Amino acid sequence: MTDYDPNATQLARATQIVRTYEQRAFPGGGSLLDRDPLYTQALLSALIGDLEQYATNHDIDFTDVVTSGLAAAPRNTTGHAFYKVGDEVRLNRQGDRCGTIVGWTTSKSETGTTYLVEVPGIPHVLAEPAAHLAPAPPFPRTETLLGTVAHADQAERSYISLSARLGTAKASDRRALERDCDNLIAALSSWTGVSADQLRDELGPKPPPNAPAGRPRDAAAAANDFPHDITQGIPPTPPSPTSRPPKQARRHRGPAQAA
């Protein structure tokens, strides 16, 4: 009895759909599928565009269709889970830090799908294959002035928004803002595995850049570098001559005569 291979079945079904679409889009022409990668890519792009038009015409969210299809499709991931954008994961090779899936890349190599993960407090996106990821524990729910925060990306955005208010907040409001900021940092630090100090440094308001050396710091200082009457010190423009003296004819010296 032959084992059922879901990947082979899916590939055969997709191949039949693409070839049928090609014959309908380019009737009477020879097929270039599997021979011209650029042609195949253009054909698939046209097919996806037509599918999106079909979904729009039937009041269907095409993005949701694609996301659901990717999540439900069988994949050759050697038993590893398939994640989608927004899932919270633990990175086993990154000190068990936790973050949020923001995208992925695929290849035909043994690594398969590589997921892109944002970890609050880490200035760059981390790329990890599914084999080194695991579902993250639930983010600790945190009450703030902006509402209840239940996910790490929400906590990150809430902290950035609340900490930005501290500089201009009234004294009566500062205590509540500081309490919310401290609670968000504590929740993010315990969940991500990133230190509280690093989170504050990366997520807090950034000071304005220093002015280049030798240059005034603002417009008022720059104005002081100029005289109050800017015409002072500027030499007057010499009057243009009304007429030019005629050019003197150049005298040509003849050949020297021998004495």
**Lookup: tokens for 105:** 């890349």
Determine how β-strand 126-129 pairs with β-strand 142-144. Answer: unpaired
pLDDT at residue 183, as a whole number: 96
pLDDT at residue 192, as a whole number: 96
Q: Residues 164-176: pLDDT tens digits?
A: 998 888 888 899 9
**Lookup: tokens for 53:** 């038009």
Q: Residues 76-133: pLDDT tens digits?
A: 444 456 888 899 999 999 999 999 999 888 765 555 788 999 999 999 999 999 889 9
Q: Quick one: what percent of the chain has pLDDT higher than 90?
A: 36
pLDDT at residue 66, as a whole number: 76
Assign 24 a pLDDT band (cuts: 50, 70, 90): confident
- 3-class DSSP state for residue 237? coil
Reading phi first (left if > 0) and then psi (alpha if -120 to 50, else beta), residue 235 is in: beta
Assign 2 a pLDDT band (cuts: 50, 70, 90): very low
pLDDT at residue 258, as a whole number: 44
Beta bridge partners of 89: 99, 135
CA distances from residue 41 to 12, 46, 69, 94 in whole angstroms, order as listed? 18, 9, 20, 36
> What gap in Å lies between CA 222 and CA 215, rounded to an integer?
8
Q: What are phi and psi of 99, to 5 degrees?
A: -155, -170
Using only the alpha carbons of the chain, give its radius of gyration: 35
pLDDT at residue 19, as a whole number: 83
When pLDDT is averaged across residues 235-254 and rounded to a whole number, the result is 51
Q: Residues 25-75: pLDDT tens digits?
A: 777 666 777 677 777 888 888 888 888 888 888 888 888 777 766 655 555
